A = this chain, B = another copy of it.
């Protein structure tokens, strides 16, 4: 017989593959933020519009460390640390972990890069790049930086327990590519509370999952 978590995992997988978002809350005592999460393989402009109008945070493309190596990109903190002018700006935010931002990019096929269609194009093409035979060169041919889509790189759950690591680990567990799209859910002034994020998920029939449940999958 399947456990409750097994059933939930099956639902998460089928929702993500259908192009539905899930809501991922990190941890009490960490950021305490809920992110809206899509699988990048299903992204279209309507999902970018939902992220923009329902979630409201930065719309980020998230990959794992192996994928970043294929693209030939590092964390932004590494780039800044190498530079005397900028090295003093690399600090730990209040919640404790160094940021997972890498470069901000646009596809060369977009006009300005920011509208729903343009951001969907950039993200879809990044996702497709992971399946190509020569991601390093194709990335340099078909994208430019700086652009309007931040790429986040997971350091793995052993090193960091942010949304970046939670959603890439979840993707891997589900047998999907580590290629996700996330945005923080915001409220008036503040970040959306856990309680309101649960309410939002319930009323939209989206699955709400917590960091501790995702960690549990790997125990």
A residues neighboring B (CB under 8 Å)? 31, 33, 45-46, 49, 52-53, 56-58, 72-74, 76-77, 79-80, 83, 85-86, 88-95, 99, 101, 103-106, 108, 110-117, 139-140, 143-148, 150, 184, 186-191
Contact = CB atoms under 8 A, between A and B. Distances in A.
Contacts of A90: 144-145
B103 A104 contact: no
Given A31-B111, A52-B56, A90-B145, 15 more contacts: A49-B188, A73-B86, A74-B85, A76-B145, A76-B146, A80-B145, A86-B103, A93-B112, A93-B144, A93-B147, A94-B111, A94-B112, A95-B111, A114-B191, A116-B188
21 contacts: A31-B111, A33-B114, A49-B188, A49-B189, A57-B114, A73-B85, A79-B86, A80-B145, A86-B103, A86-B145, A89-B139, A89-B144, A91-B144, A93-B113, A95-B111, A101-B104, A104-B104, A104-B150, A114-B184, A114-B186, A115-B186
Nearest to A80: B145
A24 to B, nearest CB: 14
A117 B189 contact: yes
Nearest to A192: B115
Contacts of A92: 144
A115 to B, nearest CB: 5
A199 to B, nearest CB: 18
A190 B90 CA distance: 35
4 closest residue pairs by CB, A with B: A91-B144, A101-B146, A88-B140, A89-B145
Contact of A143 (B89, B112, B184): B89
A102 to B, nearest CB: 9
